[in-house]
């Protein structure tokens, strides 16, 4: 009954460092998404995937890369972190209806 | 850019009162969804209303959709302290094969015991 699991939950990076955020879903959903949420804002779409092996850019893709090698996993990578990427990151999956969200990763870039 | 605009940005009511939040959007939609986010937590899906529906109920929640005005409202009846959270509307555009959601900035609801 896990739903969508994000790891890690918290991370502090130095400017220029790289990291990968992992999202795993156990609902056999085709669609997966990465969003970021900044204070006082709704969620903004970074990248998404409509199936295994496919990815596409969302509203704010710059500075991020993604991969969907397995249907259940969607990885978000930051190659060279910048302070502007300090945010809370949410992964979600969908069956073309409602979404299921993970609990978020709070990332701070110093 | 963000699709929805929730109104008001913040709302404070007494327990037992009704809370109404409004959402306006810009494009032609397939469906509109409402989500709740407790402080520091992920989003929880509340209700989905399709473009050919005008009203939908789920427990103490009532959602209306007016596609001619490109607007929706969420009514929470008999509010409880546990309803304190931020509420977001989000839309799926017509013909969006990715079913991606576009979110508004949210309404922060405080229910005072």
pLDDT at B95 over 80: no
Tokens of B112: 């005072």
pLDDT at B1 over 50: no
pLDDT at B96 over 80: no
Q: Select from B33, B46, B49, B99 the residue whose CB has the most chain A CBs within 10 Å, as the one to mutate to test that interface.
A: B99
Q: What is the pLDDT of residue A70?
A: 96
Contacts with B, A 36-55, CB within 8 Å: 40-45, 48, 50
**Residue B40 carries which DSSP code?**
T
DSSP run (H or E) holding A107: strand A105-109
Query: Chain B residue closest to A90 (CA)?
Result: B42
Q: Which ranges of chain A have pLDDT less than 70?
A: 1
| Any A CB within 8 A of B106 CB | yes
Cα(A93)–Cα(B4) distance, integer angstroms: 21
| pLDDT tens-digit series, residues B26-53 | 989 999 999 999 988 889 999 999 999 9
B93 bridge partner residues = B29
């Amino acid at each position: 009954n896990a739903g969508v699991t994000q790891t890690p939950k918290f991370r502090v990076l130095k400017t220029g460092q790289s990291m990968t955020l992992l999202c795993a879903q156990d609902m056999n959903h085709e669609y997966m998404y990465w969003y970021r949420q900044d204070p006082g804002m709704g969620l903004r779409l970074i990248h998404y995937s409509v199936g295994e092996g496919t990815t596409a850019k969302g509203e704010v893709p710059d500075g991020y890369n993604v991969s969907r090698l397995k249907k259940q996993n969607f990885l978000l990578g930051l190659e060279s972190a910048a302070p502007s990427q300090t945010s809370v990151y949410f992964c979600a999956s969908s069956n073309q209806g409602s979404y299921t969200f993970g609990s978020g990763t709070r990332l701070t870039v110093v | 850019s963000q699709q929805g605009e929730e109104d008001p940005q913040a709302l404070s009511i007494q327990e037992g009162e009704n809370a109404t939040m409004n959402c306006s959007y810009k494009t032609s939609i397939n469906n509109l969804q409402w989500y709740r986010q407790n402080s520091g937590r992920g989003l929880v899906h509340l209700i989905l209303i399709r473009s050919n529906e005008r009203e939908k109920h789920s427990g103490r929640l009532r959602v209306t959709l007016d596609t001619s005005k490109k607007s929706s409202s969420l009514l929470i009846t008999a509010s409880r302290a546990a309803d304190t959270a931020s509420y977001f509307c989000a839309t799926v555009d017509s013909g969006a094969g990715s079913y991606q959601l576009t979110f508004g900035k949210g309404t922060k609801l405080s229910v005072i015991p």
